[in-house]
Chains A and B, each alone.
Chain A
Amino acid sequence: MSDRPLQEPTLLLLTALADEPRHGYGLIQEIDAISRGRVRMRTGTLYGALDRLLQQGLIRVEREEVVDGRARKVYALAEPGRSVLAAETERLRTVVAEAERRMAARRATATRPKGALA
């Protein structure tokens, strides 16, 4: 698997499936909620991402169901997808920890009284 960071739509999609399987529109709603309304994935874009993630084996079709006369698929995170998401989460955690450490160091320097010894 590539060590390139995941693009945001992929990361959000895998995150939306991390806790439970969801159908297409459920994924659009979850992505909207996770991104706090910043990312609104459209039907065609979602379908393109689902095609790709299915082909890569990162997600799978959990089941197919019929609701209000319409067939829909329910998607779940596959094991390789869970590993990719875990690796990306770890990468982001490392970046966040480093950013916090540096900002804290900067704050400590800024609040130290002038003339005080280190």
Chain B
Amino acid sequence: MTEQRPPRALRWAVRFHPAAYRAEHEAELTAIYTEATQDAGPLGRLREALDVAGHGLRRRTGLGSDRTAGQVLAHAAPLTVAAAAGGSVASLLWLYTPGVRGLPSSSFPGALLLADQGLVPLFWLAALTAVWTGRWGVARTLVVPATLLRLADLPLLLLAHSFHDTYAGAALNLIVPLLTGAVVLAAPGDLLGSSRPQRTAIAGTTALTTVLWVAELVGVYHPLVGGPPLTHALWAGILAAALLFSRRDRLTAAGLAVALLPGALKMTVSLLYPVSPAGVGALLVILLSGAVSVVRARRRRAQVTPPSAA
């Protein structure tokens, strides 16, 4: 009997697994990978290896589907796509509303930026359609260019001399899309699907975030009662509500909180630079609701509860 050497792509992929796990499971992973890719081309082998690497990273970071964090991510992923799609609807409205657009389209970077800001919402809306129909492979593939294009915003804004924000604003331009994309890509694939309750949550989140972002847009034309501090602080309030009202369906509520986190982060930071009472209030609300949620989770962990089979 001869021990066969694993293919190079797989050898690279299994390095992402913790050493102990690799020692125990590498032979079986190799067997499954080899059989699964026997008729596959280079692209098929690469995708299979990336999937193995993703599994290894989830094992290493405690985000596997057998862990609570992984289950929260699986609930957060569709809602994150929904939240990003809600923002996309507002972005498209902003882009095509006469008199609001403030980007110069005359320069090359400005034109690229406009194209970028028109394309990203389309990717997110297409990803939402894929999630709605349960086509998660397509959805995750679409999220990659959507995230990369959004990351290109900052250098394009700088090149177009249209960036008038603070360092914190610049950091948010990178952190928010990275966080959004990471939640969708890191969610364990075996827990992703499309069920009726999930579609209801997706529709609700899309509607909620569309309203929140459109309120921002309307505020540009007609200052609302309370002004931008109120519309910004609303994100923190809704995030806190998701964290606090997690008793009934804790995974969905925690998933919603994770999905709203990028938007809430963006809005709260913008209220904190420069420091404002609304910003401090929003931060306190988030921190307190987060602390309550952690204490509850610790108490629950102390009790023995059977896991969900989903």
Contacts and interface: CB of A to CB of B under 8 A. Distances in A.
A55 to B, nearest CB: 4
A49 to B, nearest CB: 4
A40 to B, nearest CB: 8
A9 interface: yes
A1 B31 contact: no
B309 A8 contact: no
A10 B32 contact: no
A10 B64 contact: no
Contacts of B27: 70-72
Interface in A55-113: 55-56, 58, 66-73, 84
A18 interface: no
Q: Looking at chain A, what size class is its interface with the partner chain?
A: 35 or more
A41 B197 CA distance: 23
Interface string B153-186: 0000000000000000000000000000000000
Interface string B195-222: 1110000000000000000000000000
Contacts of B64: 48, 51-52
Given A4-B197, A70-B27, A71-B27, A51 B4 contact: no
B153 to A, nearest CB: 31
A21 B299 CA distance: 38
Contacts of A69: 1-4
A53 B191 CA distance: 11
Interface residues of B, number: 46
A49 B65 contact: yes
Interface in B292-310: 306-310
Given A2-B309, A4-B310, A68-B4, A44 B51 contact: yes
Nearest to A67: B31
Given A6-B310, A9-B189, A51-B64, A45 B55 contact: yes
A8 B66 contact: no
A5 B195 contact: yes
B51 A45 contact: yes
A42 B48 contact: yes
Interface string B67-97: 0000000000000000000000000000000
23 contacts: A1-B306, A2-B309, A4-B197, A4-B310, A9-B189, A9-B192, A25-B32, A41-B190, A43-B32, A43-B48, A43-B51, A43-B52, A44-B48, A44-B52, A47-B25, A49-B190, A52-B190, A55-B307, A68-B4, A70-B27, A70-B34, A72-B31, A84-B309
Given A24-B35, A44-B50, 10 more contacts: A2-B309, A7-B190, A9-B192, A24-B31, A52-B190, A58-B309, A68-B4, A70-B27, A70-B34, A84-B309
